[in-house]
Structure 1
């Protein structure tokens, strides 16, 4: 299951997982983009989901279990990233960010935890951000939400580890996604890494080769697409 899977890293992960033989469920509020991703591969299906809605999340996971019988992986890509100075921040904006970026992660984790615990297996992947350490003007709600996710991941990983379930963070670097473009108007997007550049670490964390939990896989950059010729 991939939340926010209609575009960006989520969509690329859906494609790669489907190619690898997984049955993938893309979850997103963007119905048109989500269906377009699902139409690309027979292994991908799409469901509309508001990750901030606790009851809707539980019902959706229950239905996915009824359809597929097990859940091996959860990738939480759904985020909102408004650009707003603290002095202009409203309760509504702050709540919207934390409802999706934090509560969405918590509710999805709560829903899949008993399923994976009964299986004694499963991999959950969240996304970390360098903005938590280095900061970014006008991005305080996003930075605070990412810090909260990292803290949740650390504790939840220890809580669910006895049942054979892995919880890890991926810090993908600066990736050219629709969310990043909306949050960084005027940036030079031609210099950014692509979602395809970040999918490798995510696929690794989903795989059985990633035997660790409570860890962060960090990528800081990508090799040049046109390497220099060494004389």
Structure 2
């Protein structure tokens, strides 16, 4: 997979990059030569992924904390001299019926899923705009269009992120910065398992299945901006010999 991409000399930041889709993308980008900064709150998993590859560093930060995000990203930009990619993977995905939801629960989901994207994009944009280059990926979902029982905070957050991405793409496009959306579909991640304990995980796509589209969007092959790349609706790959 990574042999098709050469990210040598590039600096890529991944929020929620200690596990799941973020972790798989961090490993692939590092193997392709990028210096990858993983931003996450999970110290244990962050340390583990940083130990896997010399090109990966771990930075503990809560993406909902505006000042902390700007400080950490600013430090990375100063140390590295550039930022070429941002992948916004940090989310929470709790199951909460509307009638049982508390203000605190709703605020937490929106703070991480929506504000986290806002602050990360705000933090990397000045560096990318000065470079006249950069690729930002935000994850959106068809659940924002179709809904999902007991997931109103998550679905609302994904709708908000899509609206933000369309708008932000137009703000930074004149400076050569690309902002695209990726719809990964149903993926067996720790967050999905926590929210869907009865799902059939054996037939479900894995985080590594999203790496290809993410790497493409980070690469110079992806010349578009304000676009949505989707693998939603993709059928599980279960080869069966034809006996006809």
Bin for the TM-score computed over the shorter chain:
over 0.9
Give, in angstroms, the shift of residue 70 of structure 1: 0.4
Counterpart in the other structure of 2:241: 228
Cα distance change on mapping 1:87 and 1:118 into 2, 3 Å: same
Give, in angstroms, the shift of residue 230 of structure 1: 7.0
Counterpart in the other structure of 1:170: 182
Give, in angstroms, the shift of residue 142 of structure 1: 0.2
Counterpart in the other structure of 2:166: 154
What are the within-5 Å matches in structure 2 for residues 33-112 of structure 1?
33-112=45-124
Q: Using the alignment, how far apart are the partners of 1:131 and 1:178 within structure 2? A: 18
Q: 1:20-46: CA deviations, max 9, x gaps?
A: 000000110001001111111111010
* Structure 1: segments with no counterpart, 5+ residues: none
* TM-score, normalising length: structure 1: 0.97
Report the aligned-residue RMSD.
1.1
Partner-residue secondary structure (3-state), 1:209: coil
Partner-residue secondary structure (3-state), 1:149: helix
Counterpart in the other structure of 1:179: 191
Is the CA contact 1:197–1:222 (under 8 Å) kept in the aligned structure 2?
no
Q: How many residues align?
A: 231
Give, in angstroms, the shift of residue 229 of structure 1: 4.0
Q: Using the alignment, how far apart are the partners of 2:54 and 2:239 within structure 1? A: 34
Counterpart in the other structure of 1:9: 21
Is the CA contact 2:88–2:138 (under 8 Å) kept in the aligned structure 1?
yes
Q: Using the alignment, how far apart are the partners of 2:139 and 2:47 within structure 1? A: 24
Partner-residue secondary structure (3-state), 2:173: helix
Give, in angstroms, the shift of residue 224 of structure 1: 2.1
Q: Using the alignment, how far apart are the partners of 1:218 and 1:174 within structure 2? A: 11
Q: Using the alignment, how far apart are the partners of 2:120 and 2:177 within structure 1? A: 14
Give, in angstroms, the shift of residue 222 of structure 1: 4.9
Partner-residue secondary structure (3-state), 1:217: strand
Q: Using the alignment, how far apart are the partners of 1:42 and 1:225 within structure 2? A: 35
Partner-residue secondary structure (3-state), 2:96: coil
Give, in angstroms, the shift of residue 194 of structure 1: 0.5
Give, in angstroms, the shift of residue 217 of structure 1: 0.3
Correspondence for 1:197 among 202, 209, 213: 209
* Structure 2: segments with no counterpart, 5+ residues: 1-12
Partner-residue secondary structure (3-state), 1:39: helix
Cα distance change on mapping 1:224 and 1:113 into 2, 3 Å: same
Q: Using the alignment, how far apart are the partners of 2:78 and 2:168 within structure 1? A: 25
Q: Using the alignment, how far apart are the partners of 1:173 and 1:17 within structure 2? A: 21
